[in-house]
Amino acid sequence: MSGLTFHLHTPTDPDKARALHDGLVQTGETLRTSDLETFLLTLEDEAGALCGGCKGDIAFRSAHIAELWVDETYQGQGLGRQLLHRAETHALARNCIRIHLETRSEVARALYQKVGYRVFGQLSDYKGSQAFYYLEKRLD
């Protein structure tokens, strides 16, 4: 290790982060951003204002939901469930066999489990006594 030094970059140096990512791509350990199919489902009112949505990506045969949100004005109307269903339909059309997501919300976890997702991992005491859940749903 002679001549090597460790450096912590916070905030992240974009050029060094890109070089790190490119190194992983070259070894086959990750995908290029351009190899991911990103999707965005939006829920808009009549004026075009965003009231909810779902953002994710597809890699190989798996879809990942990174963000799902419904404005509190519209919560309790099944819109989150409809966004999930549309994301699942999109994933199936892209030959995915699973869809997965994470949450630390007990309310969201209960919704996900109600529509067929199962917890496959958990970080206890993630935020205070609050846990962080990893959930998936098989699509095949």
Q: What are the pLDDT tens digits along the chain (140 aa)?
A: 679 998 999 999 999 988 988 898 888 888 787 778 999 999 999 999 999 999 999 998 999 999 999 999 999 999 999 999 999 999 999 999 999 999 999 999 999 999 999 999 999 988 888 899 999 999 98
Does residue 61 sit within a domain?
Answer: yes
Give the chain's domain count. 1
Does residue 7 sit within a domain?
Answer: no
What is the three-class DSSP state of 30? Answer: coil
Cα–Cα distance, 138 to 50 (Å, whole number) = 29
Pairing of the two strands 62-70 and 98-103: parallel
Domain of residue 72 covers 14-23+31-138
CATH code assigned at 117: 3.40.630.30
Reduced 3-state DSSP string for 127-139 = ECCEEEEEEEEEC
pTM of the shown model: 0.84
CA distance readout (Å), 7 to 10, 12, 16, 20? 10, 11, 11, 13
